[in-house]
Amino acid sequence: MASDEIKVLLVDDHKIFLDGLSELLSKEEAISVVGKASSGREALKLVPRYNPDIVVMDITMPDMNGIDATKMLTQRHPNVKIIALSMHLDRGMISQILEAGARGYILKDCSIDEFVQGIKAVSQDLVYLTPKAAKIVLEDYLLLKRGDVLAAENKLSPREMEVLRLLVKGEHTKSIASKLSISKSTVDTHRKNIMEKLNCANIADLTRYAIREGLVGLDDDD
């Protein structure tokens, strides 16, 4: 085995699939299949023996499923990178296996070229998600971010949101008071309340927070 080959341990409870995948990967010059396991528990025993760079982990297996095995492997062997393997494009499975520490998610019906691409990407410290899984992850992220924005917006009154937008645009107390037809002391009170609600120590922190969380944009209209 060449020293620059990517050492891979395959984990799947279906022997025919496991043997077939092993044979296909053995034809790749950059990849060496160093071992095979039929359960998560067996994988835990083989990783110290074979010291793989990548563990390709099936998710649904008897004895110990891939999610639990991934959690334990990432704790015990943080240098070993794990690619989840599944027949299912399941939102819950994708979320759980990535939270457990997997660096990739590949469907079993993918081409061998995509499989090799995923292994090479993860071996280079990148994350690889099959395109359909990436779409789900992106959708979940955008929903989560929107939820964060709504939660932050709900902390502020409509008037506080108006003051926040003007503060982020660099307006001073007197200017804000004039634009909103309120007193300077009221502006100061709103600013104090905004910073307390959003846990910001100063205007610079407040500006970074508001833009980062999508509460306002620098191009917002006055």
Query: Are residues 106 and 22 located together in one domain of the fold?
Result: yes
Tens-place pLDDT, residues 94-119 = 888 999 999 999 999 899 999 999 99
Structure tokens at 105: 């998610």
C-alpha neighbours within 13 Å on the C-beta side of residue 199: 1
Q: Picking from 2-6, 31-35, 173-177, 194-198, which range would have the lowest pLDDT averaged per residue?
A: 2-6
Residue 152's DSSP bridge partners are none
Query: Are residues 71 and 102 located together in one domain of the fold?
Result: yes
Query: Are residues 113 and 183 located together in one domain of the fold?
Result: no
CATH of the domain at 178: 1.10.10.10
Range of the domain at 160: 156-212
CB-based contact 46:87 (threshold 8 Å): no
**Residue where the block lists tokens 């995948």:** 21
Domain count, the chain: 2
Give φ, ψ of 63 to 5 degrees: 75, -60
CB-based contact 158:115 (threshold 8 Å): no
Do the domain assignments include residue 92?
yes
CB-based contact 122:130 (threshold 8 Å): no
pLDDT, residue 222, reads 44
Query: Are residues 129 and 58 located together in one domain of the fold?
Result: yes
Query: Are residues 163 and 101 located together in one domain of the fold?
Result: no
Structure tokens at 33: 């299949």
Tens-place pLDDT, residues 139-161 = 766 666 555 555 555 677 888 88
Whether pLDDT at 177 is above 50:
yes
pLDDT, residue 218, reads 46
CB-based contact 54:119 (threshold 8 Å): yes
Strand-by-strand arrangement of the 81-86 sheet: 31-37, 6-11, 54-58, 81-86, 104-107, 128-129
The sign of the CA dihedral 93, 46, 27, 118 is: positive
Query: Are residues 24 and 128 located together in one domain of the fold?
Result: yes
Query: Are residues 26 and 81 located together in one domain of the fold?
Result: yes
Nearest to 168 by CA among 146, 199, 195: 195
Query: Are residues 110 and 171 located together in one domain of the fold?
Result: no
Do the domain assignments include residue 142?
no
3-state DSSP helix/strand/coil % of the chain, to nearest 5: 55, 15, 30
Tens-place pLDDT, residues 57-86 = 999 998 899 999 999 999 999 999 999 999
Query: Are residues 133 and 160 located together in one domain of the fold?
Result: no
